[in-house]
Structure 1
Amino acid sequence: MPPRSPIEALRGSLDLLVLKTLSLSPTHGWGISQRVQQLSAGEFAMNQGSLYPALQRLEKDGLIASDWGVTDNNRQARYYRLTAAGRRALGEEVESWKRFAAALDAVLRTD
């Protein structure tokens, strides 16, 4: 079986990565993708075609909110921020991923 690319691993964790990024500070969509790429040392490159529908879904679900603002390049952009519900969801998702990673590690360590 060929190794999975980082983008394949990213598919199931897009919401978690967005929520975590917004927990650091509010930012616009491009800023979210840049921050994730930076924090993952270039391993995760977010597809804009996946990111913006995820942002719309998270906003509809009340986990994030947005307002219009001006970027460093003097352009209008929608800035996203985490809501209280989003903060709670992030905590739950992080714990779920930690359990998943621990279980996967336990299976992988089995000889």
Structure 2
Amino acid sequence: MAKQVTEMLKGVLEGIVLAILSGRPAHGYEITAWLREQGFSDIAEGTIYALLVRVERRGLVDVEKVPSEKGPPRKVYSLNAHGREYLEEFWRTWSFLTERLQQLHQGGKQT
């Protein structure tokens, strides 16, 4: 089952990270730690950092460099207006998919 969870997670991880950032700004390590606390123990920091670079390039987040006690400044990501619109679309798509999957799970019956 772990492989299946990993594969499914790849498809929704961007939405999950944006949802986290909709609550508060965070840096990559904080996001990774939170995901691990929620049971996503196989998430690699590198995966999250690569995803953050992609959403930054697409203009979905704003980035602020803040001083760090341990080394160079950290990039703190926050969801901007474009990112909020994208996240709203993600949730609409998620709802559509989960409704259809639930129908399939119930033998194709309409709910």
- The TM-score bracket by the shorter chain reads 0.7 to 0.9
Query: In structure 2, what is the Cα distance between the partners aligned to 1:18 and 1:105?
Result: 24
Q: Work out which of the two has the higher radius of gyration on C-alpha atoms and give 1 or 2.
A: 2
Aligned to 1:34: 33
**Per-residue deviation, 1:107:** 0.4
SS of 1:27 mapped into structure 2: coil
Q: Which residue of 2 aligns with 1:100?
A: 97
Q: TM-score, normalised by structure 2?
A: 0.83
Residue 110 of structure 1 aligns to a residue whose secondary structure is coil
Specify whether residues 22 and 45 from structure 1 end up closer, same or farther in structure 2 by C-alpha distance, changes over 3 A only. Answer: farther
Q: Which runs of 5+ in 1 are unaligned?
A: none
Aligned residues: 106
- From the superposition, tell whether residues 96 and 37 of structure 1 become closer, same or farther in structure 2 (CA, over 3 Å): same
1:18 to partner: Cα distance: 1.0
Q: 2:9 aligns to what?
A: 10
Distance 1:88 1:36 in 2: 23
SS of residue in 2 equivalent to 1:90: helix
How far does residue 51 in structure 1 lie from its aligned partner after superposition? 1.4
Identity %, equivalent residues: 27
Q: Spell out, residue by residue over 1:44-84, the C-alpha distance to the aligned partner (whole angstroms, 9 max, x if none).
A: 5422232112111101111011111135xx23311111010
The match for 1:57 is 54
Deviation at 1:100, TM superposition (A): 0.4
- Verify the 8 A CA contact 1:17 1:36 in the aligned structure 2: no
Q: Which AA in structure 2 matches 1:6?
A: V
Q: What RMSD over aligned residues (CA atoms) do the two structures have, in Å? A: 2.0
Separation in structure 2 between the aligned mates of residue 27 and residue 49 of structure 1, nearest angstrom: 16
